[in-house]
Amino acid sequence: MNKLTIEDLDVKDKRVFLRVDFNVPLDENRQVTDDNRIQAALPTIQYLLKNGARLILVSHLGRPKGVPSEEFSLRPVAEKLEKMLNKKIVFSPTVVGPVAQTAIDCLNSGDCLLMENIRFFPEEERNDSQFSKDLASLADIYVNDAFGTAHRAHASTTGIARYFEDAACGYLMKKELDFLGRLIEKPEHPFCAIVGGAKVKDKIDVISSLLDKVDDVLIGGGMAYTFLKVKEFNIGNSILDQEHIDLVKETFKKAEALDKRIHLPVDHVITESFSNEVPVKNVEGDIPEGYMGMDIGPKTIENYLKVINGSKMIFWNGPMGVFEMSNFKNGTFSMAVGMSESQAITVIGGGDSVAAVNQAGVADKMSHISTGGGASLRFIQGKTLPGIEALAEKK
């Protein structure tokens, strides 16, 4: 993809509408507890401010369902951004109307304004055409740097773009497109995908599409037990997705037809209940009745690390076990450390995998950490992302 970028635009003294993804967690005191998404947007923000833009930042936070509420206000994010930039951030309590327009009119070159939560307006998620037009009237230039929302056809991600001939992407969006595009367009082999998580239905289409590109798929997490059931292992009381068993069977057939390798756990960390407070033990092969698998075991870790060490490119989405509990984090953290020590190009596909590499302290050793879980998975599958389609191509 060769999309127009901010460096292709003259932004001096222009009103620049920058769609960012500031959907960050807040604690009970309304303080930002994880600023990774804000950090990821800083290069684009700093470039635009340095080059004299009159910058208008727009984001969502949470799911307020079109109703304004203090719980989902972006005001704490404005305060956090102010500290991170060491610069005054103007905050507008609304997005459209006279108050917002006055705030924008008062911006000078190099000033920055953060609007209130765009999802306080139900028209945003409906991609309402009049609302999109109203948003477009606020600015001279449109830039989208919110990859995490690129799979949503909303007013601030797609509807607004049609009113700008040169709708461009920011640095973060470009980086996402470069790395994820490389995975699907120019993969280096051996190419390994690590896919985990609890539900087969969330990942089975991803695995199927990845089989067209990768050499190895390492399966972990709760969904591994459905794969093992298909291979006629006893899985005890482990999670089983009976509804999608036929899809798993089809996935195995596809892998065999393409001569691709699906790797499954050979041993497990098991317990009698979904708790961190009960005894755990390791078993190989079958899981006894009354027990459930909670993590991959040491032999599986060893097998998976061998594949990782032999790969030139690795994509990871989804944990290997219930890593939120200390007794069951070893599998997931071992994958994170193994990837960090690999010479391969390593791409983390959002969600829990991002949390895992951060908690394992190896995030800075990954080639790329995607800011969009759902968006990255759709992109990897070759599906259209409306927020990207809406941006202009380089001329």
- Report the catalytic residues: 37, 199, 351, 374
d(CA 331, CA 320): 6
d(CA 74, CA 94): 11
**Strand ranges of the sheet holding 54-58, from the earlier edge strand across to the other edge:** 90-92, 112-115, 54-58, 15-19, 141-144, 168-169
In the DSSP assignment, the letter for residue 382 is T
Q: How many CB atoms lie within 10 A of CB 178?
A: 11
Q: For residue 197, which phi and psi values (nearest 5 degrees)? A: 115, 175
- Number of residues written out for the chain: 395
DSSP secondary structure string for all residues of 211-234: TTT-SEEEE-STTHHHHHHHTT--
285: left (phi over 0), alpha (psi -120 to 50) or beta: left
d(CA 189, CA 84): 40
Q: Quick one: which of 233, 228, 173 has its CA closest to 3?
A: 173
